[in-house]
Amino acid sequence: MRRLLLALLALLALVPLLAAPLGAQEPLLPPKIDKNHDPNDWESYYDIGVDQLPRMAGKADAAFYWAARHDPTRAEPIFGRWVAFWMADVSEWPDYLDGNLRVLEKHEVIAADSGRYRAWERNPFVNEALVALLDKKAFGSSYSADLLSQGWVDYVNQRYQDAISNYTAAMGDGKKERYLIHFEIALVYTQMSRFDSAAWQVEKLLEAMRSDDRKHIVYLYNSKEMFEYALGLLYAAQGKLSDAREAQSRALQENLAFAPAHAELARLAQMRADTKTAVEEYGQAVELAPDDGAMRYWYGKALLRAKRADEGAEQLRTAVRLEPYFADPYLSLGAAYEVQHDSTKAIAAYQEFVKRAPRRAADNISFAISRITELGGKPPS
């Protein structure tokens, strides 16, 4: 089994064709949350999705959808929806894995892949173990005995050192696109929180891709912005902020319209208290992804830090319009209204935050309640 290596190349080549992120054409009914789980927590819905996935792909898709609505910054539920798409009908999954363009260029597959790509934009190292359910449904126990497949099985079963050993051995067979195994190994290292080792693997992958560009005339350009973006995140995780900025700048040299790299440059700017650059980069990210509620939220917060409360409030209002179940923007919106000396709107925003916030956000809930009380309002029951 060749896993997702060829499909990965094909997806990156088809990026300009991708449709809007995977979403429901009609509203999906939320699953019932029992009393032992938090109905405001994305993980409650995600866990239901994982549980339903082997048996009822449609219900799993709905659960993942609602997980993403409660926290659109997370990659896991978006990736889960892509898996649910294939679980509904695995008949063409083997051809997809083999990079068959007849399958890859289908409208519904492109729409689903846009969701997978969006998950990578949130976190290119999102755990892919759910794909094992697809493999099991499509192939049963008939995994091929090659080292690449064994590395994948080890990764899924959290035998990370064995996965690294098998992937490394598989890379030496000289077959086309084997350099992508570097990214597979990087995925393993991130699960082990060995970000330096993961970064080395992505560096080697990019070196191989650049060498391939020089040696061959390529008709479908192998876009490298996603891998540069991933490398920048790994550098940032190690505290190598200068290297992280350089990697994100290279991502934008590959594709100036790559919104996640702008957002990451903004985040890095905030870490060095450069509010001007943060606002500029988030502004560009929002221009490129105007319907992304998480981007609007981050931009609104940056504007607040820059003491531009009116503009920040506007972005945060857009964020809550796009993602009304996402609690965090309401908290920042309350702060923006306080700066504008509009106590009535501030109270309302804080109340909406308390209604929507997951229980694990206890400190922020306490803060919002204190502000409601201080401003003369009544906390929601």
In one-letter notation, the amino acid at residue 234 is: L
Query: Residue 372: left (phi > 0), alpha (psi -120 to 50), or beta?
Result: alpha
Q: How far is Cα 175 from Cα 126, in angstroms, rounded to an integer?
A: 26
Residue 94 belongs to a domain: yes
Burial (Cβ within 10 Å: 0-12, 13-18, ≥19) of residue 15: middle
Of 96, 118, 142, the last residue of a domain is 142
Residue 66 belongs to a domain: yes
| Mean pLDDT of the 99-103 span | 87
pTM to 2 decimal places: 0.90
Of 142, 159, 191, the last residue of a domain is 142
Q: How far is Cα 332 from Cα 309, in angstroms, rounded to an integer?
A: 10
Residue 107 belongs to a domain: yes
Note the pLDDT of residue 362. 97
- Write out the residue range of the structural domain in which residue 50 sits: 1-142
The rounded mean pLDDT for the chain is 90
Please determine, for residue 20, whether its predicted confidence score (pLDDT) is greater than 50.
no
Please determine, for residue 12, whether its predicted confidence score (pLDDT) is greater than 70.
no
Burial (Cβ within 10 Å: 0-12, 13-18, ≥19) of residue 173: exposed
Residue 128 belongs to a domain: yes
Please determine, for residue 171, whether its predicted confidence score (pLDDT) is greater than 60.
yes
Residue 299 belongs to a domain: no
Residue 379 belongs to a domain: yes
Please determine, for residue 326, whether its predicted confidence score (pLDDT) is greater than 70.
yes
Query: What is the number of structural domains in the chain?
Result: 2
Please determine, for residue 2, whether its predicted confidence score (pLDDT) is greater than 50.
no
Residue 131 belongs to a domain: yes
Residue 280 belongs to a domain: no
Comparing CA positions, the residue from 204, 141, 145 lying closest to residue 171 is 204
Of 86, 118, 142, the last residue of a domain is 142
